[in-house]
Amino acid sequence: MKIITVNQLAIPEIKIVKFEKFVDQRGYFTEHFRESDFGGHSELRFFKKFKFLQANESYSKQGTVRGLHLQWNPFIGKLIRTIEGHMVDMILDIRLNSSTFGKIILFDMPMDKKNIWGEWIWVPPGFAHGNFFLEDTLIEYLCTGEYNPKCEAGISPLSTDIDWSIADKKLKKDFEKARNSNLLISDKDKNGYSIDEWSKSSSSKNFLNSSL
């Protein structure tokens, strides 16, 4: 695997890992993950304490919103990429003692087969994660823990008390357009916690910087 760049977003724990595709007249080949390359990279050494235990694939129709999902026992970090289509990733800080608690960031992740690179987004434990889709889209994500339905919750992406101040303005408009049109969202996701409700729940006490 050839890692080209590692960048951080407005919340520095969120990382974007760009990797090379080897392109010729036939198409391309890429090695999109290798444990030793992640753990050996100077900006990704924190990966040495993680092991990916579950891999998920998800297909979503245009106009779908998923999330914002979170889990404890075990905490889960996620490494996500777009295989085909156009995803916008949504990451919400739910750590009660964080300076960015309640703030959401958005990252645009379209898949263009002509690009000579691909990319992952790393969402560590301590964040609620979701996405919305501007096209019919296929994504993959690797998880550092196995799914436990007894210790999961969600923040509604429609909650009015989410802080969008550090979110990309154009992508926020894209989300608002999806929300105000033929929105596809599960009742479970739509009826998730507000930020205020989450902060008052007993489960939120699991999400402190020192505990993750």
Which of 182, 188, 174 is CA-nearest to residue 70? Answer: 188
- Our answer to whether residue 69 is catalytic in this structure is yes
| Region class of 165: left (phi > 0), else alpha (psi between -120 and 50), else beta | alpha
- Our answer to whether residue 141 is catalytic in this structure is yes
Separation CA 55–CA 78 (nearest Å) = 9
Query: At residue 116, what are phi and psi to the nearest 5 degrees?
Result: -95, 20
Annotated active-site residue in 28, 41, 129, 141: 141
Tokens, residue 24: 């010729």
Q: How far apart are the first and last CA of the chain?
A: 28
Query: At residue 84, what are phi and psi to the nearest 5 degrees?
Result: -155, 135
Separation CA 78–CA 59 (nearest Å) = 17
Annotated active-site residue in 69, 86, 129, 193: 69
Residue 73 in contact with residue 165, Cβ under 8 Å? Answer: no
Residue 3 in contact with residue 18, Cβ under 8 Å? Answer: yes
Strand, coil or helix: 71: strand
Beta strands in 94-136 (DSSP E): 104-110, 117-123, 127-133
Catalytic residues, which ones? 69, 141
